[in-house]
Amino acid sequence: MTGTLDRPRTAAPELPTPRGPLSGAVVAALRGDPVPAVDTADADPYGDDLQLALHCCYELHYRGFAGVDDDREWDPAVLGLRRQLEQVFLAALRADVEPGDDVAAEVESLLVEPVGPGVRGVSHHLQRDGTLGQLREYVAHRSIYHLKEADPQAWVIPRLSGPAKAGLVTVEHDEYGSGRPERMHSTLFAEMMVEIGLSDAYGAYVEQAPGATLAEVNLMTLCGLHRGLRGASVGQFAMVELTSSPGSERLVKAMRRLGCGPAAIRFYDEHVEADAVHEQVVRRSVLDPLLAAEPELAADVVFGIRASSLLAERMGEHLLGCWERGTTSLRTTPTGSAG
């Protein structure tokens, strides 16, 4: 991790180290090297290699990479690879997620809050007895998304129309600080990272993020970039907004218990209140008008909710499993590659 600490927050990140043939092919394509043919037949759809490969393809649409030409974003060779990877990922999610089209019931189930000592969850663990080291790991994992918070969902705006579009933009506007850049959620997140001793450089923890972490964010971008998945994008967005407030409260308590400073507490503290409102706006001003206008999207909204829940559970299990075994949940950086 040496070097990343001094990188300015806005600089494009370095290309990560490949984790197998798929990410190897994407990184080669981005470097302008000859691209080997890839075979996705045996690829693990949620694994390190495929998810890092997809992450690299998608990052071209956000901040790009240092030394990689911006034009690679629309390079047919890269887009072709991306398509192959997306198909494997999406097919796995479609197979692993039980189909349904009752959005109201799905929303109801997300609004029931499990409490008590039997609840297994990362924020529950951190609130009860997590260590500062585990909290820092959690924030490092979450940085892959939160340093570009709300960006993946912004892709869906032009795919909506009328009231659902206005409702979604109301929430996005709040995520972007309602016109005050110092209140932007990604900025609050970066300040939290610095306060607890992490690097806030964009992409600083990609190298250490396992497939389970990258997959959650890749789903957001996948649904955002495909008009055909706009229902799933809204479902994914709803899942986050509906479940975040109580989890944020637990993280505020964790940070207080662990003696974190005010800039660290502020990010989750803001989300307790913000997401209590966002939940209401998403239900009344996004989901309701969207389904009134395009009722055929119901199954995809449910798919978006369930797919993002599935990936959030996989990531949570990864973290808790590692911590129960007494190991780190981050990948250990390959020597000499992180400069």
Partner 1 sequence: MVERRLARPEPTRIVLTEEGPALVSGPVELELPDGSRVRSDRAVTAVCHCRRSKRYPICDASHRRKVRQEGREA
Q: Where do contacts with partner 1 occur on this chain (CB under 8 A)?
A: 111-120, 170, 173-174, 178, 245-246, 249, 272-277, 279-281, 284
How far is 131 from 257, CA to CA, in rounded Å?
10
How far is 198 from 236, CA to CA, in rounded Å?
28
Smallest CA-to-CA distance from 15 within 276, 215, 231, 206 is with 206
In the bound complex, which residue of the shown chain has the CB atom lying closest to Fe ion?
185
DSSP 173-187: HHHTTTT-GGG-HHH
Furthest C-alpha separation in the chain: 55
Residue with tokens 């850049």: 181
Nearer Cβ to partner 1 (73/172) = 172
Binding partner of 281, given Fe ion, partner 1, none, CB within 5-8 angstroms per partner class: partner 1
What are the Cα distances from residue 291, in Å, to 20, 161, 242, 297, 308?
41, 12, 17, 7, 19
Nearer Cβ to partner 1 (186/245) = 245
How far is 277 from 170, CA to CA, in rounded Å?
11
Nearer Cβ to partner 1 (21/246) = 246
How many residues bind Fe ion (CB under 5 A)? The answer is 5
**Closest separation in Å from C-beta 110 to partner 1:** 10
**Closest separation in Å from C-beta 282 to partner 1:** 11
**Interaction of residue 278 with Fe ion, rule CB under 5 A:** yes
**Closest separation in Å from C-beta 273 to partner 1:** 6
**Interaction of residue 175 with Fe ion, rule CB under 5 A:** yes
**Interaction of residue 55 with Fe ion, rule CB under 5 A:** no
Nearer Cβ to partner 1 (167/235) = 167
Binding partner of 117, given partner 1, Fe ion, none, CB within 5-8 angstroms per partner class: partner 1
DSSP state letter for 91: H
**Closest separation in Å from C-beta 40 to Fe ion:** 34
DSSP 272-318: HHHHHHHHHHIIIIIIHHHHHH-GGGHHHHHHHHHHHHHHHHHHHHH
Binding partner of 238, given partner 1, Fe ion, none, CB within 5-8 angstroms per partner class: none
How far is 177 from 150, CA to CA, in rounded Å?
11
Nearer Cβ to partner 1 (116/259) = 116
**Interaction of residue 275 with Fe ion, rule CB under 5 A:** yes
What are the Cα distances from residue 74, in Å, to 45, 77, 115, 191?
24, 9, 47, 33
Binding partner of 175, given Fe ion, partner 1, none, CB within 5-8 angstroms per partner class: Fe ion
| 39 residue type, one letter | D
User: Residue 67: how many CB atoms within 10 A of its CB?
Assistant: 11
Nearer Cβ to partner 1 (118/336) = 118
**Closest separation in Å from C-beta 115 to partner 1:** 5
- Pick one of 142, 185, 250, 266: the residue that binds Fe ion (CB under 5 A): 185
209-248 positions binding Fe ion, by CB under 5 A = 241
Nearer Cβ to partner 1 (205/237) = 237
Residues that bind Fe ion (CB under 5 A): 175, 185, 241, 275, 278
